[in-house]
Chain A
Amino acid sequence: MIKCPFCQTSHVDGTLFCNECGTYLLDDDQRGTDPLGTSEIGWVGDTAEDPVATSDYRGTGPLAIRLSIGKHKRVVEIPLNKAIHLGRLDPASDVFPEIDLTNDGGLEKGVSRRHARILKREGIVVVEDLGSINGTFVNGKRLAPYLPETLSSGDTLQIGRLLIEVELRS
């Protein structure tokens, strides 16, 4: 028998795809979340399509965001002059998030490679789920994918099962 690395369902030897979740069962690299970055999705580097790269976003509102990540409260402070992607670094599939959550237990906590992004829109800081498997939550409320939600100081952001405290800096 073989076990699906994603949903743990057992399958007969030789099975190629998991019947429950569609995971390809021969690929050792595939461990849990979304396996590949697609070129269609805007990600680090393709600033031409990134609305955040336009000058509007530098003007008003908070200038930076401070995140306390996980139970060890790893603190990251990062300016809000462009979109900040949260996910897991995977050079093989060309995924380079500004905030890499691999070492915060990202895989175990269900963080997708392309999970969410934080950006400033007309002076307001928002977070947007990028269609992650395990979801993005603000103060316990799950966000609809691709639908931005306002972030304020003191909010708890949850990426999969990883908790992050948010503080905005002016």
Chain B
Amino acid sequence: MNTSPLTPQRSTGKHSSPLSMQPILSHATIKATPNEQACYVMLEISPSKDLPTSRLPLNLCLVLDKSTSMQGIRLQQVKEATRQIIDFLEPEDTLSLVVFSDKAEVLLPGQKNVDKALAKSVASTIQPSGGTEMLQGLLAGLQEIQTNRSEMSVNHIILLTDGRTYGDDEECIKQAEWAGLNQISLSTMGIGADWNEDLLEKMADVSGGTSTYIDTPRRIVESFKATVRELSTIVAREVSLVIELADNVTLHEAFQIAPHIRRLDINDDHKLALGPLGTNNRKIITLELRISNAEPGKQQLMRLNVMGDVPTQALNRQADNWTDITVNVSSDTDAEVVIPPVIITALGKLAIYKMQEKAMQDMASGNIIAATQRLETMATRLLNLGETELARAALLEAGRLARTGSLSSEGRKKIRYGTRSLSILPQEL
């Protein structure tokens, strides 16, 4: 704690992991019963305080939709956002610029020490034309990132589109997966109501990035800047949480709660991929466990380890720093259950997100009545949280669904991205 932040801490003993973890358990004590019972663990993962906060060089590519529909204020704002990002860059950062419509074009091949005046003038030449073929743009962007990457760089693509891409969805996801495996994350941004949120969200998720819904062109600049600012704080890449469960415990569900809610895929090896980690982007994860045959006494539920690639640290990935999660098992059935408020808040918001997931599933399977009811119930929960705006959006869409059998493209995005970002938590965690 009291070491100077200027002295880099290189592997000072095997217990100093560059990433720290703080777990909280929902039930300090569980019942002794052969029956299955649920228990939740919430954890915050953040860079250790003694980790040097030197900035990693960015290897950034902007992949911009210049199709005809981008004409006017949208493209104008995209150009402005690009200019502001160019100003933000440091000499050791690399920037490349790709535009796409029916085909892709590399406007600015990747270069360090970007000639800012030149780059801005190149950005201002973008003219709208043609349709939307995202795959072309993505491939050109990945190519640029690959040629310019270095051992230390944060490799990232910001992809902005306002339309649906036709026929190449699956290939786009494949490429995004490949990007994720090669330490390239994607921020996918959709503007307006006509893009495919399933596709953009999936592409961001599999690559460890974030997807953003931009409801009005006025928010383009802000969204771009927020993303680049976030990137410049990244200290660890490919962060993952490794879970080893006790024999009588299973992992039922896992979610990331912050920075935004998303479901985490549980693989056989119980290693949850969390993407890159920045200094002001702590990750909060909840795990829902199922315990059977709990016997009185102390029970170890699982042990956890956070791994990640921290370029400024020499020995990091092997960090053997397991944390045990233990619970008391008591046969006193009348014991009062006290759940930490922070867990109730987080899981309450997660419950709303999950209702949204279910409403969309109901709708996809043609069960309009169930979907309508779920949206209505969801609206009530949102009202109770004081989320009046989102509650109204949900009610409006519930009404539309009941009358017309479908949601508006815009409402669907509003609800999806709104419930996802419900997760702002109190600071006390």
Contacts and interface: CB of A to CB of B under 8 A. Distances in A.
B354 A40 contact: no
B285 interface: no
Interface stretch (A14-22, A62-70, A162-170): A14-22
Given A16-B344, A35-B384, A131 B395 contact: yes
Contact of A17 (B347, B388, B391): B347
Contacts of A133: 376-377, 380
A12 B377 contact: no
Interface stretch (B26-34, B210-218, B297-305): B26-34
Contacts of A75: none
Interface string B8-46: 000000000000000000110011010111111000000
Nearest to A114: B383
B26 A145 contact: no
Nearest to A6: B377
B337 interface: yes
A21 B355 contact: yes
Contact of A131 (B26, B350, B355, B379): B379
Contact of B348 (A22, A34, A40): A22
Contacts of A39: 386
A92 interface: no
Interface in A94-142: 112, 131, 133, 135, 142
Nearest to A93: B384
A19 B288 CA distance: 12
Nearest to A13: B37
A44 interface: no
Nearest to B376: A133
B172 interface: no
Contacts of B379: 131, 145
Interface string A21-51: 1101010000001111011110000000000
A124 to B, nearest CB: 22
Contact of B352 (A13, A15, A22, A40): A22
Interface residue tally of chain B, by bracket?
35 or more
A12 B39 CA distance: 10
Contacts of A1: 35
A82 interface: no
A34 B344 contact: no
B383 A131 contact: yes
Interface in B192-207: none
B391 A34 contact: no
A13 B391 contact: no
Contacts of A15: 38
B404 to A, nearest CB: 13
A26 B391 CA distance: 24
Contacts of B402: 142
A11 interface: yes
Interface of A is mostly: loop
A146 B395 contact: yes
A14 B377 contact: no
B176 interface: no
A146 B38 contact: no
A26 B35 contact: no
A40 B388 CA distance: 8
Given A131-B379, A145-B395, A14 B384 contact: no
B378 interface: yes
Contact of B383 (A18, A22, A38): A38
A112 B381 CA distance: 13
Given A40-B388, A145-B395, A145-B399, A16 B33 contact: no
Nearest to A11: B38
Contact of A26 (B339, B376, B392): B339
Interface string B62-96: 00000000000000000000000000000000000
Given A22-B378, A41-B383, A131-B379, A16 B339 contact: yes
A145 B375 CA distance: 12
Contacts of B395: 131, 144-146
Interface string B338-362: 0100011001101110110010000
A19 B399 contact: no
A146 B399 CA distance: 11
A26 B384 contact: no
Given A144-B399, A146-B395, A17 B384 contact: no
Contacts of A26: 337, 339
3 smallest CB-CB distances across A and B, nearest first, come from: A14-B38, A22-B351, A17-B351
24 contacts: A12-B35, A12-B36, A13-B36, A14-B26, A15-B38, A16-B339, A16-B347, A17-B348, A17-B350, A19-B354, A19-B358, A20-B355, A21-B377, A22-B378, A34-B380, A36-B384, A38-B388, A39-B386, A131-B379, A131-B391, A131-B395, A142-B402, A144-B395, A144-B399
Given A16-B26, A133-B377, A146-B395, 16 more contacts: A12-B290, A13-B38, A14-B31, A17-B350, A20-B358, A21-B374, A22-B348, A22-B352, A24-B344, A33-B380, A34-B380, A34-B384, A41-B388, A131-B383, A142-B402, A144-B395
Interface of B: 26-27, 30-31, 33, 35-40, 290, 337, 339, 343-344, 347-348, 350-352, 354-355, 358, 374, 376-381, 383-384, 386, 388, 391-392, 395, 399, 402
